[in-house]
Amino acid sequence: MGFQVTTDHLERLAIGAGILGTGGGGNPYIGRMTTTQFLAKGATVNVVDLADVPDDAVVVTVGRMGAPTVAVERIPRGDEQVHALAALEAYTGKKVTHLVSSEIGGANSTIPMVVASQTGLPVIDADGMGRAFPELQMKTFIINGIAPTPGALCDHYGQTSVFDHITDGKTFERYMRAVTIQMGGSAGYCFPLMTGQQVRDYAVPATLSLAIRLGDAILNAREQHTNPVQAALDVTGGQLLFTGKITDVERRLIGGFTRGLVSFEGIGHDTGSNLGITFQNENLIARKDDGTILAVVPDLVCIVDADTAEPITTELLRYGMRAAILGIPAPVQMKTDAAIASVGPAAFGYPDVPFTPLPGVYGASTVSIR
């Protein structure tokens, strides 16, 4: 089917992608504003269904890497990924036909639309995570063995770098990160080159429309004075893990990541109980003070405002906030053995925490896009 992106979609996407960012992923606001400007100037952004991508398509993910705090203070030009794309095409001699998001959670949900606005390329309704994760090798595409290179990076001045012959995702992440740091801590990327078949095999389908529907359901519930948190659960296939008030936030910058622990004192049904959530940019593990683990990465642990369901990112956590903690089952693509090795608790430094999947199905909803 597919659809054409409107400014309303972008507003909803920003909320939905914020929730699916599970605390991290960067703020989608700038990408939303950039795309809105392009749309106002007459650009069109067409979204196509994953199933409709032809076998011989040439697909890339486009996104931004680096510290979200940098990208917020030093506004991207908006054409970094376009230059990265041009460098990749020059190197490979191939013309890209489709764009796909690398992570639907956070800022990278909007970057394909920023690029589509400038190139006219269609955006696939899918992504490589179904959420947000901090490193490049954590995309389903790389997890499933697609070589990360050739892949390109571009800085604020249009200065580019094209990597090639790197088969190991972690090595690619390390090389790209080193250049990104020299580029001022934030850069646009474009990788890996994939066929339509590969994207159909490995992408998490229909996540762009899921994020839009999620934002839409929340806005709708706010307008209708129904429960926005329940609306979010209905759309995502998630469950309410806990409701509480923030009593403490430990937050440190370690190795370029925001790591820490946020503590909640239960309210409502959870009165008398406490919950802690450890995070590394994204929320990783939700554990009650009796030791019971409620949810573990790669399942999505999302902290939202208890009343409005507005997503609360790691940076915004502060004492006294009343929050609902949502547990959304990870997409099946993130629960294979290979995926758990890359993005399970052990990959984040918790080898002793088993991954016990939440029940339910990621995005198990058929609410249509307004």
Binding residues (CB under 8 A) for its own copies: these are 83, 87, 90-92, 149, 157-166, 171, 174-175, 178-179, 181-183
Least gap, CB of 49 to its own copies (angstroms): 34
Q: Look at the block and give the residue holding tokens 């994020």.
A: 211
Least gap, CB of 91 to its own copies (angstroms): 5
* Encoded tokens for 149: 């290179």
CB nearer to its own copies: give 193 or 324.
193
* Encoded tokens for 254: 């370690």
CA distance linking residue 27 with residue 298, whole number of Å: 20
Which of 321, 277, 269, 273 lies closest to 302, judged by CA? 277
Least gap, CB of 280 to its own copies (angstroms): 21
Contact 57, 98 (CB under 8 A): yes
CB nearer to its own copies: give 15 or 187.
187
What are residue 97's phi and psi, to 5 degrees?
-110, -25
Least gap, CB of 82 to its own copies (angstroms): 12
Query: Which residue blocks in 225-354 are alpha helix, DSSP H?
Result: 228-236, 337-343
CB nearer to its own copies: give 137 or 161.
161
CB nearer to its own copies: give 181 or 316.
181
CB nearer to its own copies: give 10 or 183.
183
CA distance linking residue 83 with residue 87, whole number of Å: 6
Least gap, CB of 174 to its own copies (angstroms): 5
CA distance linking residue 43 with residue 332, whole number of Å: 35
Which of 156, 194, 169, 168 lies closest to 80, judged by CA? 156
Query: What is the four-CA torsion angle of 264, 210, 220, 311, rounded to 10 degrees?
Result: 30
Which residue type, as a one-letter code, is found at position 300? L
CB nearer to its own copies: give 167 or 336.
167
Which residue type, as a one-letter code, is found at position 51? A
Least gap, CB of 164 to its own copies (angstroms): 5
CB nearer to its own copies: give 182 or 356.
182
Which of 39, 93, 29, 68 lies closest to 253, judged by CA? 68
Least gap, CB of 152 to its own copies (angstroms): 9
